[in-house]
Amino acid sequence: MSIERALQDIRDGKIVLVFDFDDREKETDMTLASEFVDTEKVRTLRKDAGGLLCTTTPYALAKDVGLPFLSDTFWDCSDKYPLLKAMAPTDIPYDNTKSSFGITINHRKTYTGITDSDRALTIKTYADVLFSGKPVEEIQKEMGVNFRAPGHVHLLNTSEKILENRKGHTELCTALMIMAGVKPSATICEMMGDDGNARSKEEVKKYAEETGMTFITGEEIIAAWNEFKSKN
């Protein structure tokens, strides 16, 4: 099955192609486990995907450590900056939530933060620090030591109950990481086409055949996730 192959690819540090749904974004994201991100993989995401490179965080851990949803941060500042309230994301056409965007970060040892090597350092260290298993207070201290904000790596927070009220790439790809048994953070990037739109499903399938990458759909992930939850 493609889902089994995808999970093994993730364990092996490979990139997997995830299409969400025909009635949602209708987009495919390249994804891999954040703990395996390196300069070469960032370059592949930048050149062969071309969308926004983001790194996910499970809701509970983001809340414990203190990594907010960006929309909440904007809302909390809206008395001082009323325009932020007027621009609240209440009309996302494919989503009924407030957006999964969190803050942006750079590793303190980066220069500009945007190069392939800079972003690889930021993402890999983020996964190592966040999932170190240390007490929350120590993780918070190490986050401050290692990262500055804002930066060039976009963090995404999952919804509280993954794949229940929101079924976006943030949740789909994080669920894959959980099922694969790696650190539960996915690094993702949308695959863009040359016509001004997202690359079509058919084009992505052709790319998958040419590169040997595994292509899976949101339906396959949700089916596997429901089975996984029933056993765990």
pLDDT at 106 over 80: yes
Q: CATH number, domain at 145?
A: 3.90.870.10
Give me the chain's average pLDDT, please: 94
Residue 40 lies in a domain: yes
Domain count of the fold of the chain: 1
pLDDT at 95 over 80: no
Residue 88 lies in a domain: no
Going by DSSP bridges, is the β-strand pair 147-157/16-19 parallel, antiparallel, or unpaired?
Answer: unpaired
pLDDT band for 198, please (50, 70, 90 cuts): very high
Domain that holds residue 120: 2-70+101-231
164 a catalytic residue:
no
Residue 51 lies in a domain: yes
Residue 77 lies in a domain: no
Angle 50-51-55 from CA coordinates, rounded to 5° = 115
- Across 46-61, average pLDDT: 97
Residue 10: per-residue pLDDT: 98
Per DSSP, 89 falls in state: -
152 a catalytic residue:
yes
Q: What is the pLDDT of residues 132-167, one digit of tens each?
A: 999 999 999 999 999 999 999 999 999 999 988 888
- Across 70-98, average pLDDT: 88
Residue of 9, 20, 25, 106 with catalytic role: 106
**Where are the alpha helices (H) located in 181-217, listed in sequence order?**
201-211
Residue 54 lies in a domain: yes
CA pair distance 202, 159, nearest whole angstrom: 29
Residue of 9, 20, 27, 29 with catalytic role: 29
